[in-house]
Amino acid sequence: QQPVQSPQAVILREGEDAVINCSSSKALYSVHWYRQKHGEAPIFLMILLKGGEQKGHDKISASFNEKKQQSSLYLTASQLSYSGTYFCGTETTDSWGKLQFGAGTQVVVTP
Amino acid sequence: DTAVSQTPKYLVTQMGNDKSIKCEQNLGHDTMYWYKQDSKKFLKIMFSYNNKELIINETVPNRFSPKSPDKAHLNLHINSLELGDSAVYFCASSQDRDSEQFFGPGTRLTVL
């Protein structure tokens, strides 16, 4: 089951903050976050695991609410390099190792 | 050093042809994946191999056949290509299910 991401798109000025949400209709084992720039491969940002463990870049923060089956990615003090499409990938507890990706959130950061 | 590489980068072919895409990773990872990204940027898993064994096989037409000759390679062969197969195909690898996936640069397949 594909997770639902919101918003579909967001436009920010440099220095502004944004939140991207990802929700699942099924119980989650993990949530992965990736960013993809046009014409390039997705790049890893963060993994959040059931039980609270997180792995990722220091400058990226995210939360995982297991009970609500939701995750949020926080873009703080955005930079021009943050522009791209952000995807969450979810692995449900009944689907070992299989990431289902959301439709993506397009982020544009302007000067 | 390229972590995950794919060849070719672009593939333009006629309907009905058979084609292959090759993927290699030099990260020593145990798990490799194939994803399809369509024109709407929807990224969908197709297959996953762990130590040369198929562990994920999504609802994909049997015209698509993955092959993993060893842990470092995962190839994708597509028979009787159709217009709807046009997409960008990404190979990825990870150490395990709890680790980040490293994506290759993608192969843009165009079926005419």
- For B44-71, what is each residue's pLDDT tens digit? 999 999 988 898 888 789 999 999 999 9
The beta-strand segments (E) located in chain B are 4-7, 10-13, 19-25, 31-37, 43-50, 53-57, 64-70, 73-78, 87-94, 102-103, 107-111
Domain count, chain A: 1
Q: How far apart are CA B55 and CA B53, in angstroms?
A: 6
Task: Mark yes or no for CB contact B103/A32 under 8 Å.
Answer: no
Q: How far apart are CA B85 and CA A93, in angstroms?
A: 30
pLDDT exceeds 90 at position A53: no
pLDDT for B91: 98
Cβ neighbours around B100 below 10 Å, total: 19
Domain count, chain B: 1
Interface size, chain A vs chain B, as Cβ–Cβ contacts under 8 Å: 56
For residue range A77-99, list pLDDT tens digits in order. 999 999 999 999 999 999 888 99
Distance in Å from the first CA to the final CA of chain B = 34
Quick one: pLDDT band at residue A29, thresholds 50, 70, 90? Answer: very high
Q: Which two tokens stand for residue B2?
A: 């390229």
pLDDT for A52: 80
Q: Which two tokens stand for residue B72?
A: 């470092």
Q: How far apart are CA A62 and CA B18, in angstroms?
A: 43
Using a CB–CB cutoff of 8 Å, tell me whether B103 touches chain A: yes
At A62 the three-state DSSP class reads strand
pLDDT exceeds 80 at position A59: no
Using a CB–CB cutoff of 8 Å, tell me whether B25 touches chain A: no
Average pLDDT, stretch A21-25? 97
CATH number for the domain harbouring residue A11? 2.60.40.10
pLDDT for B95: 93
Q: Which two tokens stand for residue A61?
A: 């923060």
pLDDT exceeds 80 at position A101: yes
Residue whose C-alpha is closest to residue B44's, from B53, B32, B36, B52: B36
CATH number for the domain harbouring residue B97? 2.60.40.10
- If contacts are CB pairs under 8 Å, which of residues 28-47 in chain B contact chain A? 31, 40-45
Average pLDDT, stretch B4-8? 97
